[in-house]
C-alpha cells in the first residue's frame, strides 16, 4: 500500500497526472471513492441528464440556502465515479479564452499564461477537425469531435447570430473564440470519452499505476511538515514516498485540506482541528457559472420532443445500443456562441449552448411539447462563495455557499443576456420554427420582472472552481504556488479546478485536464516550451458590442 505518488481522485486532473507520472516510470496509487463508469447512462451521450442525478455516481452535494436567490437550495453535482465529473458532465469541450490564462499569470500564477498552457492543451487533444491547425493537437489521448448538426435548428441558431451582426467562428477553441459556430465535445464513436477513457485506463495499463477504492479522511504528515500519505475512512493507510496530489474536486479538495489542518486557523479551531498551516484562502474564492434556460415553442415537429415518450426513448436507446448512432450518440449541444455583452469589453463574457428541446437540465420535464432553448449566462461573475467544514468528521458533507448574484453587476449582465438573446431569436432564420417565447415570456420586459425571473429560474452550469487558488508564495490568500505545491507544507500538491485563480470562459473539463497535464510536468521537473500564438480579437471592441 505504498507508491512514489498518491493521487486523491480519479477525475479529470487526477487521471491526467496519473498517466504522465506512470509513463515517466513512477509508481502511482490513485484513490477513488466512486465505483465503475461502465453502464449505458454514462456511456450514452444522449443520456447525460441521468448520471448527474444518480446518487450512485454523484456526491449529492447541495448548497446552503442562497441569500440572493430567495433562499433557494441548488444542486452541486460532483462525480463520485471512475473519471470523476468527466463521467457525468455534458461532454462540452471548451478550453477558455486566451486572455483568461493571461489573467491567471497576471494575478500571480506565473508560467500559466496562454503561451504557457497552449502546448498542454495541444498535447492532451486528439482533435478530429476538418483541417490541420497550429492551435490544435491531434496526437493526444482526449478525443474531441463535433456533432453532425443534422437538426435544422442548429443551423438556424448560427445563422440567426450572423443575421444579428455577430461573427462566425470556425473554431472557438482556436484563434477566435468570439462568434457563433459548432460546439465541440468529448465524444468518440458515439460514446462519452471521459478522463477515465483518455488517461486512467492507459495509466493502469502501464502496470505502474494502481486504483484503490476508498474515501480519504485526511492527509498524513511527518514531523517536518512533509506529506507522507493518506488515511482512508476505513482506517487503511497509504504511504507516498515522494508526494501526495489532491485532485478531489473544488469541493472535496478544500475539505481534505482543512481536515488535514491546512486552512483558515479560526475556522479549523471551531472544529477542534489543530492548524498545520494557516491558509485563509482554503475554501474561499468559490466561483461558478450561472445560466438561464430561455425557452421557445416550435411551429414544426422537428425537435427532440418526438422521442420524449417511452417508446421514443426506447427506440433511441436501442439504436444507440446496437449501432452507437442516432440521437443517443450526441449530447445535443451542437451549436454555440461566445459574444460580448457591451462595447468596451475586449473578449466574450457571454456563452450560449443551444438545445433542440425545451426541457429541464435534469431531463425530468419538458416545457410544452415541441420546443427549443438557449442556455445563456455571463462568464465572469464577480460573486464569490465558500466551502467550509460541517464538522471534523470526514463522513460529513461540507457546507457550500456560492453566494450567487451577490454582486450588482450580475443582475445587469443577466438582463443583457435575456435582451440580447431575444434579439438573436427574433432574426429571420427562426421565422419558420419559432411560435412564441415560453420563458420568461414576452410580457416580462421591465427590469423588475426580469430580476424576478432570474432569481427564480437561474441555474448552476455546474462549473465550481477556485477554492485553492494558485498564486505567489507570499500571497496570504494563495493556497498553492505556480507549481501546484501547497504553501506552508512539503510534498503536497493540488491538480484540479480548485487552483483556478479566476473561472475561465466556458465549460471547465478541458482546463481541468490541462491543469493535470501541466502539474504532472512540474512534478517531473520538465516543461513544454511556450507557444506565442496571438488570438484573434474584435478590432473595434472598445466602441462596438458586435
Q: What is the DSSP letter of 141?
A: S
234 and 360 in a common domain? no
Flag whether 398 is in a domain: no
Instruction: Count the domains in the chain.
Output: 2
Summarize the confidence of residues 398-405 as an average pLDDT. 98
Flag whether 539 is in a domain: no
Going along 63-141, which residue ranges are E strands?
75-76, 125-127
Summarize the confidence of residues 414-423 as an average pLDDT. 98
Which region, left, alpha or beta, applies to residue 166 given φ > 0 means left and ψ of -120 to 50 means alpha? Answer: beta
Flag whether 296 is in a domain: yes
Flag whether 101 is in a domain: yes
Rg, Å, the chain Cα set: 22
Q: Which domain holds residue 444?
A: 148-182+290-378+405-457
Confidence of residue 365 (pLDDT cuts 50, 70, 90): low
Flag whether 384 is in a domain: no
Confidence of residue 362 (pLDDT cuts 50, 70, 90): low
User: Quick one: pLDDT at residue 130?
Assistant: 86
* Cell numbers for 176: 477566435
Which CATH number do you get for residue 441?
3.30.410.40
Q: What is the DSSP letter of 48?
A: T
Taking only the tens place, the pLDDT of each residue in 469-503 is 999 999 999 999 999 999 999 999 999 999 999 99
Flag whether 540 is in a domain: no
| Buried b or exposed e, range 236-262, using 16+ CB within 10 angstroms | eebebebbbbbbbbbbbbbbbbbbbbb
Q: Has 463 been annotated as catalytic? A: yes
- β-bridge mates for residue 150, sequence order: none
Taking only the tens place, the pLDDT of each residue in 41-58 is 999 999 998 998 899 999
Scan for cell 465558500, then name that residue: 386
Summarize the confidence of residues 275-282 as an average pLDDT. 97
Helix segments in 226-327, DSSP class H: 249-259, 265-270, 310-323
pLDDT at 361 over 80: no
Q: Which of 103, 143, 463, 522 is catalytic?
A: 463
pLDDT at 84 over 80: yes
**Cα gap 463→467, rounded to integer Å:** 12
pLDDT at 264 over 80: yes
Strands 179-182, 335-339: pairing is antiparallel
User: Quick one: pLDDT at residue 65?
Assistant: 98
* Cell numbers for 158: 448560427
Confidence of residue 360 (pLDDT cuts 50, 70, 90): confident
Summarize the confidence of residues 332-337 as an average pLDDT. 97
Taking only the tens place, the pLDDT of each residue in 185-216 is 999 999 999 999 999 999 999 999 999 999 99
217 and 130 in a common domain? yes
Amino acid at each position: 500500500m505504498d507508491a512514489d505518488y498518491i493521487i486523491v481522485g480519479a477525475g479529470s486532473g487526477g487521471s491526467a497526472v496519473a498517466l504522465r507520472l506512470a509513463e515517466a516510470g513512477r509508481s502511482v496509487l490513485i484513490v477513488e471513492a466512486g465505483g465503475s463508469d461502465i453502464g449505458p447512462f454514462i456511456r450514452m451521450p444522449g443520456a447525460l441528464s441521468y448520471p448527474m442525478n444518480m446518487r450512485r455516481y454523484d456526491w449529492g452535494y447541495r448548497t446552503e440556502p442562497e441569500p440572493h436567490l430567495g433562499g433557494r437550495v441548488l444542486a452541486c453535482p460532483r462525480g463520485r465515479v471512475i473519471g470523476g465529473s468527466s463521467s457525468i458532465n455534458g461532454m462540452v469541450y471548451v478550453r477558455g479564452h486566451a486572455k483568461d490564462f493571461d489573467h491567471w499569470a497576471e494575478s500571480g500564477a506565473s508560467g500559466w499564461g496562454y503561451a504557457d498552457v497552449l502546448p498542454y492543451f495541444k498535447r492532451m487533444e486528439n482533435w478530429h477537425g476538418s483541417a490541420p491547425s497550429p492551435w490544435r493537437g491531434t496526437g493526444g489521448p482526449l478525443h474531441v469531435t463535433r456533432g453532425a448538426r443534422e437538426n435544422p435548428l442548429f443551423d438556424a441558431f448560427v445563422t440567426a447570430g450572423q443575421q444579428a451582426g455577430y461573427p462566425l467562428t470556425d473554431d472557438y477553441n482556436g484563434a477566435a473564440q468570439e462568434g457563433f459556430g459548432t460546439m465541440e465535445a468529448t465524444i468518440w464513436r458515439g460514446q462519452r470519452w471521459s478522463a477515465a477513457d483518455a488517461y486512467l485506463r492507459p495509466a493502469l495499463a502501464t502496470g505502474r499505476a494502481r486504483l484503490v477504492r476508498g474515501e480519504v479522511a485526511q492527509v498524513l504528515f511527518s514531523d517536518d511538515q512533509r506529506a507522507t500519505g493518506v488515511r482512508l475512512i476505513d482506517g487503511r493507510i497509504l504511504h507516498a514516498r515522494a508526494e501526495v496530489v489532491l485532485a478531489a474536486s473544488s469541493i472535496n479538495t478544500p475539505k481534505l485540506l482543512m481536515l488535514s489542518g491546512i486552512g483558515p486557523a479560526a475556522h479549523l479551531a471551531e472544529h477542534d482541528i489543530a492548524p498545520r498551516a494557516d491558509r485563509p484562502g482554503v475554501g474561499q474564492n468559490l466561483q461558478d457559472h450561472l445560466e438561464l434556460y430561455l425557452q421557445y415553442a416550435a411551429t414544426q415537429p422537428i425537435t427532440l420532443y418526438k422521442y420524449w415518450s417511452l417508446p421514443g426513448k426506447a427506440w433511441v436507446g436501442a439504436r444507440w445500443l446496437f449501432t452507437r448512432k442516432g440521437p443517443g450518440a450526441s449530447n445535443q449541444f451542437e451549436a454555440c456562441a461566445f459574444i460580448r455583452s457591451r462595447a468596451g469589453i475586449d473578449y466574450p463574457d457571454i456563452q450560449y449552448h443551444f438545445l433542440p428541446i425545451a426541457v429541464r437540465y435534469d431531463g425530468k420535464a419538458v416545457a410544452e411539447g415541441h420546443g427549443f432553448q438557449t442556455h445563456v449566462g455571463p462568464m465572469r461573475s464577480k460573486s464569490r462563495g465558500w466551502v467550509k467544514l460541517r464538522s471534523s468528521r470526514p463522513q460529513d458533507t461540507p457546507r457550500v455557499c456560492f453566494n450567487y448574484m451577490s454582486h450588482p453587476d450580475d443582475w445587469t449582465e443577466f438582463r443583457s443576456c435575456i435582451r440580447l438573446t431575444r434579439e438573436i431569436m427574433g432574426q429571420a432564420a427562426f421565422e419558420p420554427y419559432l411560435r412564441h417565447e415560453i420563458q420568461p415570456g414576452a410580457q416580462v420586459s421591465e427590469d423588475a420582472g426580469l430580476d424576478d425571473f432570474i432569481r427564480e429560474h437561474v441555474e448552476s452550469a455546474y462549473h465550481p472552481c477556485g477554492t485553492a487558488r494558485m498564486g505567489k508564495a507570499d500571497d496570504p490568500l494563495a493556497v498553492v504556488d505556480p507549481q501546484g505545491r501547497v504553501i506552508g507544507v512539503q510534498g503536497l500538491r493540488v491538480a484540479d479546478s480548485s487552483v483556478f485563480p479566476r473561472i475561465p470562459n466556458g465549460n471547465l473539463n478541458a482546463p481541468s485536464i490541462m491543469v493535470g497535464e501541466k502539474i504532472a510536468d512540474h512534478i517531473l521537473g520538465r516543461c513544454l516550451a511556450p507557444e506565442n500564438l496571438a488570438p484573434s480579437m474584435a478590432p473595434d471592441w472598445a466602441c462596438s458590442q458586435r
